[in-house]
Amino acid sequence: MPKVVPGDTAWLLASAALVMFMTPGLALFYGGLVRAKNVLGIVMQSFVALAVVSVVWVLVGYTLAFGPDRGLVIGGLDFLGLKDVGATPSALAPTVPASAFMAFQLMFAIITPALITGAFAERMKFSGYLIFLGLWSVLVYAPLAHWVWGGGFLGANGVGAIDFAGGTVVHINSGIAGLVGAILLGRRTGYGKELMPPHSLTLSMAGAAMLWVGWFGFNAGSNLEAIGGAPLAMINSFVATAAAALSWMFVEWLVKGKPSLLGVLSGCVAGLVAVTPASGYAGPMGALVLGLIAGVVCLFFCTAVKNALGYDDAFDVFGVHCIGGIIGAILTGILVNPALGGAGIITYEAIPPKVDEYVLVTQVMNQIWAVVITLVWSGVGSLLLFKVVDILIGLRAPVEKEREGLDINDHGERAYTM
């Protein structure tokens, strides 16, 4: 019988706070990367997600993501307005109150659409973003969360894909949506002709540090219990991230002649992204290899591929989050192998957790299917929502406002007065 365990509950609540801390961290990370005239605009896009998605999640998002679907492809309305989401555990988190599980999952729902904003930074109208944010959270994020984590067809009950903390639901989902948005909105005015350097890499470093700290709650908290899987996820989140930061830095140093702080920060985030789906499944040495691979591959996509195709993904949301998420999701199917130091395919919702049979080819194919479905679902869904918002009120800021800066035009404020 499900029974609330105080230690598990305390850990999950602390993890929820850490994940919440990531969204302000993301705001600072992105805030340092824009030009000074757009700092408040990009920070506002992250911070307002805390407000908008919280309301949407409480009203309808949580029940669509984690309500029982009774054979449908989406959660039912059993938990509409958080009805019956209280102190009693749910089947998905049998040792913590359902309300704690709901709060933890809310933080994932918040940061995922906030990640998208880095792709179309410095050129999207705030009003258009608000509408897109609310619609995307309900119509794109919630169904995918249900399919992977809520008992839907991509998880253990169907395709059999494993995703410990959000390689598909968070990173591939946001990354492909960001690419679609960047292409639809078009390049920033002056892109490729004018210099657009980050205005404060110091600010970005502070934000990246907040992300790394918060990510321990993101990954280790996804164990849902304060037992062996949690410290494993924490260790992997440190090892893979460090390896990716170093591999990005050394390759960039070799190619460009100098190691950059921006490169180290980007490698850090790439490692965090790639290890997310594998964090509770891979062994530390597997996480190390995963990080080394992610740093190099994401660097390649953020430079060579991006330059060859010419799209203006301002902060490389696609190159880091989508590509890093794909690497992590597929390699999770390999690194989970106990013969490689992995933990095996553990069903954490069971009491006690049980280990399922592992077949390498089968599991890798399961992972690939999950990646493909996520790309199609989020890519097409995001495209339709961007188009709807564009028709309703428009997406792109006028050129004259873009040149002057979105801070003063959208918000009537400036980040700096000197």
pLDDT of 110-127, one tens digit each? 999 999 999 999 999 999
- How does DSSP assign 15-71, residue by residue? HHHHHHHHHHHHHHHHHHHS-GGGHHHHHHHHHHHHHHHHHHIIIIIHHHHHS--TT
Q: Which domains does the chain have, with CATH numbers?
A: 6-406 (1.10.3430.10)
How far apart are alpha carbons 86 and 75 in whole angstroms? 18
| pLDDT tier, 289 (very low <50, low <70, confident <90, very high otherwise) | very high
Contacts of 379 (CB under 8 A, 6+ apart): 176, 177, 179, 180
- Strand 93-97 versus strand 89-90 pairing type: antiparallel
pLDDT of 222-278, one tens digit each? 999 999 899 999 999 999 999 999 999 999 999 999 999 999 999 999 999 999 999
Q: Report the pLDDT value the prediction gives residue 249, as an integer from 0 to 100.
A: 98
Whole-number Cα distances in Å, 279 to 20, 100, 165, 196: 19, 21, 7, 35
Q: Report the pLDDT value the prediction gives residue 253, as an integer from 0 to 100.
A: 98
**Per-residue pLDDT at 279 exceeds 70:** yes
How far apart are alpha carbons 60 and 76 in whole angstroms? 10
Block residue for tokens 């659409």? 113
Q: Report the pLDDT value the prediction gives residue 324, as an integer from 0 to 100.
A: 98
Whole-number Cα distances in Å, 246 to 63, 107, 357, 392: 41, 29, 35, 45
How far apart are alpha carbons 82 and 340 in whole angstroms? 42
Classify burial at 257, counting beta carbons within 10 Å of its beta carbon; exposed 0-12, middle 13-18, buried 19 or more.
exposed
pTM of the model: 0.96
**Per-residue pLDDT at 348 exceeds 60:** no
- Give the HSE-up count for residue 131: Cα atoms under 13 Å, Cβ half-sphere: 16
Q: For residue 258, is it left (φ>0), alpha (ψ between -120 and 50) or beta?
A: beta
- How does DSSP assign 232-256, residue by residue? HHHHHHHHHHHHHHHHHHHHHHHHH
- Structure-derived torsion over alpha carbons of residues 327, 331, 332, 334, reported in degrees to the nearest 10: 170
| pLDDT tier, 349 (very low <50, low <70, confident <90, very high otherwise) | low
Average of per-residue pLDDT values in the chain:
95
Q: Name the residue among 336, 323, 237, 321 with its Cα closest to residue 283.
A: 336
Taking residues 152-161, report their average pLDDT.
84
How far apart are alpha carbons 226 and 215 in whole angstroms? 16
Least confidently predicted of 61-70, 103-112, 133-142? 61-70
| Bond before 113 cis per omega within 30 degrees | no
| pLDDT tier, 350 (very low <50, low <70, confident <90, very high otherwise) | low
Let me know: does 210 contact 35? Beta carbons within 8 Å: no
Taking residues 373-381, report their average pLDDT.
98
Taking residues 49-63, report their average pLDDT.
98
Taking residues 279-303, report their average pLDDT.
98
- How does DSSP assign 359-388, residue by residue? -HHHHHHHHHHHHHHHHHHHHHHHHHHHHH
Q: Report the pLDDT value the prediction gives residue 354, as an integer from 0 to 100.
A: 64
Let me know: does 96 contact 88? Beta carbons within 8 Å: no
Q: b/e string for 316-336 if b means 16 or more Cβ within 10 A? A: bbbbbbbbbbbbbbbbbbbbb
Least confidently predicted of 39-48, 67-76, 196-205? 67-76
Q: Report the pLDDT value the prediction gives residue 51, as an integer from 0 to 100.
A: 98
Percent of residues, the chain, with pLDDT higher than 70: 97
